[in-house]
Structure 1
């Protein structure tokens, strides 16, 4: 166990890695990360697009899949990604077991083109879950309005859900409520509620990238952290309410907040800005490889934000609540579009390999 990750774990936060590829699995890189204390993996279309474009480790499997008669690029991609996620789930399973099914998850995203289509998302979520067939897989569902029934339905079936692309507190709260609704619908004769888990992926750096363009210097690099801390306050309120407490008595788990997009985009900011300032119990920080390396190779004095005084930075800054809401709404739309573009690029790469 890396001493720096242990410090973070001692503050009751998990570190996940926001990266996966066939090469990382085959070379033992993921196993090494797990030994260092990484306790989960997140993936998305952009991550798989990068892996398929930059690695030749997929070529043999692609040829085998094509030779077996599969000609649809999306089907080929699903077979490749399902294998990667399945293998990663097996590597993380000892963590899942040790943590009593509360950590050790690997996430795979539903086709981003279904972000606004409830029925197709539910169908694909079930397909991915059944195909991977590992208890520690999480299905990523965008936190759109159309995604709320998807969260509820998958959770009610005992399928773990990672709600992704959350930028606003409003949509985070909606997603937490959808999770609780799903828990209430669980058939206790078919699903053990204590094994059902969800995280809410709350995006950080992209907010500062946009907000920093329109606010004064004193508040630059601070609004995203403030927004996340306020979301954590929402989390504490929602999961201390009687509505959830009754479920908790039956063994239900809270839906942990997961900090996503935690690499700084502004080179003037400290590389661990979104690690050092977002430490709190029952949270997860999923970090890209460069942030992971920064954590394990540097000595830091980590502290929880729970003891810090929270100042209303949005009110203090020159941005209005309405403008901030408009920014977070736009970031969700842009996030979906970027994942769609990555997915299209990935499919185009696979089409080139077809005979």
Structure 2
């Protein structure tokens, strides 16, 4: 069946971190579902900026929309295009959703990055996008910022599937995991069903190593007396951080609080490994897939990483392997002053800023395609 199918059999669902109209219309997603056991799709402003900002794949749809809605705001024009793609992807994945009884088969659509620090606006936009797409296998992506946590709880309580994005630290993950559970508890207290509400917590990986490795290389180049100890941590902190998050997840779903919800049919909020393409060419291009395989997880891969794993990935139960070693890596990083907490905080801020820039560029590209512009 292939390595991606084997990955799914180990409990790590393979998702694609990419969506594009030409790819969808050519049957590319359908082929991955049929041949590789693909079970989900993620999108973000940067992906849509690349898809919509270049080429002519969206021009006819945009022209038709403009003719029917003269003077429409650029944000509305973007949403019309994005929602069409998300609906098409959701329809392709619907058989997976049905076969797995709502446990998988999801496509994600992100709220505007402009409102990452506005709880009420995030809740309102999540509800608007959910209604516009009108597919049960949609997940609304909400950033795991402090303002995002109460929005996540409210959105889940409203019966909407949530993909929490831009998680880098264990503390942030714990906050949004508890928000997801709070939403389920609120819904259950109202006598509403919770068995078909799915959620993922998108924990970013490679960006952590990119920052950590740069800090290590700088200190080594400056002749740091701890050079050898520092070099030993290259490419290891992000995986250790992810393993610590999964260990916490295992404890959390064993708790009485979670078990009370599970008894009512609740599904666990799976950890999703994001940013899984390697940044350093010295590392194997399947590193952040090979090292994070275990039950109740998702790995969303950019196309290049998915192709690499299909060809030469290594499937084994790695996520729970050598947890003590992972904890030693994190302790050593702290001892050496690598400031993982500070790094993860900056990465959240940078991640929001990058999505805002991509959204700015995306809206600018669409605006230029206005007839007569």
Change in 2 beyond 3 A, CA 1:309/1:174: closer
The structure number with the bigger radius of gyration is 2
Tell whether the 8 Å contact from 1:41 to 1:105 is kept in structure 2 after alignment. Answer: yes
Residue-by-residue CA offset, 1:176-225 (whole Å, 9 max, x unaligned) = 00000000111577742110011000000000000112232111000000
How far apart, CA to CA, are the structure 1 residues paired with 2:293 and 2:68? 48
How far apart, CA to CA, are the structure 2 residues paired with 1:239 and 1:27? 41
SS in structure 2 of the partner of residue 212 of structure 1:
helix
How far apart, CA to CA, are the structure 2 residues paired with 1:54 and 1:190? 48
Change in 2 beyond 3 A, CA 1:187/1:244: closer
User: Normalised by the size of structure 2, how large is the TM-score?
Assistant: 0.92
* Structure 2 residue 202 is matched with structure 1 residue 201: yes
Q: How does 1:125-274 map to 2 (within 5 A)?
A: 125-186=126-187, 191-215=192-216, 216-274=230-288
SS in structure 1 of the partner of residue 312 of structure 2:
coil
* 1:3 equivalent in structure 2: 2
Tell whether the 8 Å contact from 2:212 to 2:338 is kept in structure 1 after alignment. Answer: no
Return 177-186 or 215-224, whichever deviates more.
Answer: 215-224
Change in 2 beyond 3 A, CA 1:165/1:48: same
* 2:21 equivalent in structure 1: 22
Change in 2 beyond 3 A, CA 1:309/1:188: closer
User: How many residues end up aligned between the 2 structures?
Assistant: 354
How far apart, CA to CA, are the structure 2 residues paired with 1:282 and 1:187? 23
How far apart, CA to CA, are the structure 2 residues paired with 1:66 and 1:319? 58
* 1:54 equivalent in structure 2: 54
SS in structure 1 of the partner of residue 165 of structure 2:
strand
CA RMSD of aligned residues (A): 1.5
Tell whether the 8 Å contact from 1:6 to 1:37 is kept in structure 2 after alignment. Answer: yes
Q: CA deviation at 1:114?
A: 0.6
Tell whether the 8 Å contact from 1:95 to 1:103 is kept in structure 2 after alignment. Answer: yes
Change in 2 beyond 3 A, CA 1:72/1:78: same
* 1:286 equivalent in structure 2: 300
Q: Which of 317, 320, 330 is the aligned partner of 1:303?
A: 317
* 1:38 equivalent in structure 2: 38
User: Normalised by the size of structure 1, how large is the TM-score?
Assistant: 0.96
